[in-house]
Chains A and B, each alone.
Chain A
């Protein structure tokens, strides 16, 4: 069973509301929340897969009710406590005013441009050889669940579980989020763009020729 964030294909969400290109944030605290999450991330206590999983682990009622940056803050609060950067008491406002042992890693203003420009590439050398070639028929796992950790992070959406598609592109070997999100190592393996006919995914596709492409790791796939 998946978590609340796995909403691709869901019915009932209503219209998408376009907005002008110059609208970047919708409240004064939004940019502050964004910056805080990025700055805290640079302390190096978690990776992007861990941080995504933290947001996904919000209670469904909170995930649904929270605005976007509230989800980010919910994830950040969880990560700070889980990684012992802050105690629950400190998070709740109790102060001992002791400088953290991690303070040497604090992101400074003069480092910001360099850190944003450096990024965090996800490709890694891997001993796992690609077994699929472009054009090969593949089928995704029947269950969109992490096989290593019950309730763990995965990037196979439920709507694409058990579906047949074709390999469209090979991306090289990338960090496996299902492992990386749980402290089990990068476990890099081949990553492919796989194209699925809409009719393979939906009972009532809008148009016979429509397709959906997903980036999927080799261990999510079996020969079709």
Chain B
């Protein structure tokens, strides 16, 4: 039987203790060995700071609210429907869209690490990666929602999705009342990142 040997030997202790120096030391040695191109690091950072973020998800939500055919396509095969909008890629290879209704409020967590639909929402926020969210969201979601200043009606059940595999969940929040006829851009402005994780409502 293979043995898990990594328990007694922690190479990070060979690096500087200050985390900023630790990352610098790693970048320096990997660059010197020809394994990392600092310009590629800049390009990765630019992608997640400026190109891939929660406005992508807001676009999907606004379109689903306005376009019944797109909503039907999302239900049928979200990956195909999202690919047509150009939303695919790392940490978003298998997407399922879960729809909030008056009866069910959906909320997404990854208790084991930090799985999150990057192509649609970007880099997960600090709180999503925090021990408190990972520990509590599955056991006391309503108490966690209260930390966000949110409460649900007694008749609404909470369904928490723990992202334990490579499937990524996007919450489709309920469309706010009084928005009939609004164009896509106006609707997008109602869709916060948190509403697509399930820790806020749209609006």
Interface status of A142 (Cβ within 8 A of chain B):
no
Whole-angstrom CA separation of A85 from B22 in the bound complex: 17
Query: Looking at B44, B111, B142, B143, which has the most chain A CB atoms within 10 Å of its CB?
Result: B44
B47 touches A93 (CB 8 A): no
Nearest-CB distance from A102 to chain B (Å)? 6
Interface string of B44-72 (1 = CB under 8 A from A): 11011100111000000000000000000
State whether A120 and B112 are in contact (beta carbons under 8 Å apart), knowing that A73-B22, A113-B47 are contacts in the complex.
no
Whole-angstrom CA separation of A76 from B19 in the bound complex: 13
List the A side residues contacting B126 at CB < 8 Å. Answer: 17, 19, 23, 26, 68
State whether A7 and B37 are in contact (beta carbons under 8 Å apart), knowing that A82-B6, A91-B14, A150-B3 are contacts in the complex.
no
Whole-angstrom CA separation of A111 from B11 in the bound complex: 29
Nearest-CB distance from B163 to chain A (Å)? 7
State whether A36 and B10 are in contact (beta carbons under 8 Å apart), knowing that A29-B19, A121-B94, A171-B94 are contacts in the complex.
no
Q: Which residues of A line the B interface, CB within 8 A?
A: 5-19, 21, 23-29, 31-36, 38-40, 43, 48, 52-55, 57-59, 62, 64, 67-70, 73-74, 76-78, 80-82, 85-86, 88, 90-93, 95, 97-100, 102-103, 106-109, 111-113, 115-123, 148-152, 155-157, 159-160, 169, 171, 174-175, 177, 182-184, 191, 193, 195, 201-202, 206-207, 209-217
Given A9-B138, A119-B93: 11 more A-B contacts, CB < 8 Å: A13-B136, A19-B127, A34-B123, A35-B42, A36-B26, A73-B19, A81-B11, A91-B29, A206-B143, A212-B162, A213-B161
